[in-house]
């Protein structure tokens, strides 16, 4: 395809996630996976595969210790995430683009119309599409429930000094239900959007290429470059 050596194209990329944010995501992946892997055999304690994994009382202790250790890391990460976000946003050093707006509702309506063939084009998004915001906030509250209920299960006597005891069995139910909901959501929704729809590695590399910026974050692209996003690049049609 190259017409001449002089026409070598350098791909423009755009910063999307800071190094700290990428580390946070990596930490969440590792701890969430560890929590799931050590939590599921405890939730489904009466199944044969759970008996296989938790084959000795020592193994049960080990799995619980891993779960608790991962939970502490997860909790610290969550506190750091919220604290950092609040501090940076208050100093206007972090965009508040992640917060949902009325535009997201309209975008969702337009997207559904597009998916139902009622509209020829999907909506254009800013830094975060409504899908991405939904992923973030769904897991944000899910993780919040998991952390709160998990702490209650870990220290039930402490919590029932000032809270009704009836919350403990509710926390047990919420912890295991929310874990399943979060896991299903991550696999179905999040994995589809970042692996199948398109391979989006920006959370690991920190940057997004021009094509994906134009296609999936057109408004952000226009805001950053001042160029119109709809200007079809030569390689775009594949």
**Rule CB under 8 A: which residues touch another protein?**
45-46, 51, 54-57, 112, 114-117, 156-158, 160-170, 172-174, 177-178, 180-181, 184-185, 188-189, 192, 196-197, 237-238
Q: Report in angstroms how near the CB of residue 229 gets to another protein at its nearest.
A: 18
Q: Report in angstroms how near the CB of residue 86 gets to another protein at its nearest.
A: 28
Radius of gyration, alpha carbons of the chain? 22
Taking the least distance from each CB to another protein, the nearer of 10 and 46 is 46
> Whats the size of the chain, residue-wise?
238
Residue with tokens 């899910």: 142
Taking the least distance from each CB to another protein, the nearer of 10 and 56 is 56
Cα–Cα distance between 92 and 204 in angstroms, integer? 24
Taking the least distance from each CB to another protein, the nearer of 3 and 231 is 231
Evaluated on CA atoms 196, 105, 21, 95, the torsion sign reads: positive
Half-sphere exposure at residue 82, Cβ-oriented, CA atoms within 13 angstroms: 10
Q: Report in angstroms how near the CB of residue 98 gets to another protein at its nearest.
A: 20
Token output for 10: 């350098």
Instruction: Count the neighbouring beta carbons within 10 Å of the beta carbon of residue 3.
Output: 6
What pairs with residue 207 in β-bridges? 15
Q: Report in angstroms how near the CB of residue 64 gets to another protein at its nearest.
A: 12
Taking the least distance from each CB to another protein, the nearer of 26 and 115 is 115
């Amino acid at each position: 395809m190259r017409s001449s050596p002089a026409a070598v194209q350098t791909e423009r990329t755009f910063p999307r996630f800071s190094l700290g944010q990428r580390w946070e995501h990596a930490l969440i992946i590792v701890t969430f996976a560890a929590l799931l892997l050590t939590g599921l055999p405890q939730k489904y304690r009466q199944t044969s595969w759970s008996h296989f994994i938790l084959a000795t009382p020592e193994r049960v202790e080990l799995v619980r210790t891993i779960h608790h250790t991962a939970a502490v890391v997860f909790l610290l990460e969550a506190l750091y995430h919220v604290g950092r976000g609040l501090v940076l946003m208050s100093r206007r050093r972090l965009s508040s683009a992640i917060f949902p707006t009325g535009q997201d509702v309209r975008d969702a309506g337009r997207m559904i119309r597009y998916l139902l063939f009622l509209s020829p084009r999907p909506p254009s998004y800013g830094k975060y599409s409504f899908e991405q915001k939904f992923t973030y906030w769904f897991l944000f509250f899910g993780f919040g429930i998991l952390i709160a209920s998990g702490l209650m299960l870990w220290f039930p006597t402490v919590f029932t000094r000032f809270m009704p005891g009836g919350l403990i069995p509710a926390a047990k139910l919420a912890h295991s239900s929310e874990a399943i909901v979060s896991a299903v959501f991550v696999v179905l929704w999040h994995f589809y959007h970042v692996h199948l729809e398109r391979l989006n590695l920006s959370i690991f590399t920190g940057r997004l290429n021009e094509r994906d910026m134009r296609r999936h974050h057109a408004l952000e692209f226009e805001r950053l470059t001042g160029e119109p996003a709809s200007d079809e690049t030569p390689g775009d049609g594949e």
